[in-house]
Homo-oligomer: A and B are copies of this chain.
């Protein structure tokens, strides 16, 4: 087996183990066991456990961002672009759930050089996404859906908050609640005839009662 393939082989197993047990609980010995290689033998392919995590994250984010940027060049309809943004993300990570977990949970595990390098890719990804969303701010349309999925997405939105919350930018609990409720209820595209700021009113009304 050529050396390149062997590295990929190791990365795949390592991602699976990091995903299952978490980076810290996982030991290089676990990876040795999973790959069938000797402990010392692994160190030919990476210099440290941290580099191993870095290789996994770098690879995953780069793959996703590159595919996204390539396809966006051929898409011009804003809704199609948004759709592809999400589709691309899910397409890759649902097939590689291990890597999503490792990328999502172990974001702050890396330090120094490794951290910076991954942060660059993540930033690039976020900026592309933000551009797509921005170009949507004009359109409209609704649909039916089941409560389960909606609830889970809502939970995702609010649980994910710890990843980005900044009191100065995002305001307090009240303001954020209003914004989130509004988005959740009416979506990104304000339909014609919307009774503007209703969510906000609901919030205010509740607050007044307290």
Contact assessment for A192 and B193 in the assembled complex, using a CB-CB cutoff below 8 Å: yes
Query: Known: A182-B143, A193-B193. Is A155-B151 also a contact (CB below 8 A)?
Result: no
Query: Known: A93-B161, A105-B105, A164-B152. Is A141-B188 also a contact (CB below 8 A)?
Result: no
Please report the total number of A residues contacting B with Cβ < 8 Å: 94
Query: Known: A83-B199, A155-B126, A181-B86. Is A160-B160 also a contact (CB below 8 A)?
Result: yes
Q: Does A10 reach chain B (CB closer than 8 Å)?
A: no
5 closest cross-chain pairs (CB), A and B? A191-B191, A156-B160, A187-B187, A24-B24, A141-B198
A22 to B20, CA, bound (A): 16
If A79-B202, A140-B185 are given as contacts, then 8 extra A-B residue pairs at C-beta distance below 8 Å, sorted by A number, are: A86-B181, A90-B176, A101-B162, A143-B198, A150-B188, A153-B160, A156-B163, A191-B191
A149 to B194, CA, bound (A): 20
- By a CB distance below 8 angstroms, the chain B residues around A25 are 24
Contact assessment for B83 and A206 in the assembled complex, using a CB-CB cutoff below 8 Å: yes
Contact of A100 among B134, B159, B198 (CB under 8 A): B159
Q: Does A70 reach chain B (CB closer than 8 Å)?
A: no
Oligomer: number of copies: 4
Contact assessment for B145 and A191 in the assembled complex, using a CB-CB cutoff below 8 Å: no
Query: Known: A97-B165, A100-B159. Is A180-B153 also a contact (CB below 8 A)?
Result: yes
CB contact list, A58-108 vs B, under 8 A = 75, 77, 79-80, 82-84, 86-87, 89-91, 93-95, 97, 100-101, 104-105, 107-108
Q: Does A4 reach chain B (CB closer than 8 Å)?
A: no
Chain A 7-39: CB-based contact to B (< 8 A → 1; otherwise 0) = 000000000000000111100000000000000
- By a CB distance below 8 angstroms, the chain B residues around A202 are 77, 79-80, 83
Q: Does A157 reach chain B (CB closer than 8 Å)?
A: yes
Q: Does A114 reach chain B (CB closer than 8 Å)?
A: no
A203 to B206, CA, bound (A): 37
Give chain B nearest CB distance to A134 CB in angstroms.
Answer: 5
A192 to B86, CA, bound (A): 25
